[in-house]
Amino acid sequence: MFHDHPHVQITPVESGVFDITIDGKTARLKAGDSFYVPSGLWHGATCIEPGVLVDEFTPMRQEFVPA
């Protein structure tokens, strides 16, 4: 699902294969790759082979922090 947010995002690909689209440009990433999403850009990921993405945000996203 494509979306945007005010947070900067850095995401390493821990495993699997994903098509990552950022601002209309798509790249196929695999384990060991990573991507950077500046604040406010439309982006999304499509899983090609099952795997894990590790999302990191700054500033911290409060909705992901347990109360």
CA 47/CA 16 separation, integer angstroms: 8
In the predicted model, what is the mean pLDDT of the chain? 96
Per the model's pLDDT, the better-predicted residue between 61 and 47 turns out to be 47
Gap between the Cα atoms of 19 and 64, Å rounded: 24
pLDDT in tens, 5-31: 999 999 999 999 999 999 999 999 999
**Residue 50 vs residues 20, 39, 47: alpha-carbon distances, Å:** 14, 27, 6
Calpha distance 12→28 (Å, rounded): 13
pLDDT of residue 21: 98
Per-residue pLDDT, averaged over 43-66, amounts to 94
Q: What average pLDDT does this structure show over 33-40?
A: 98
Return the CATH fold of 8-64: Jelly Rolls (2.60.120)
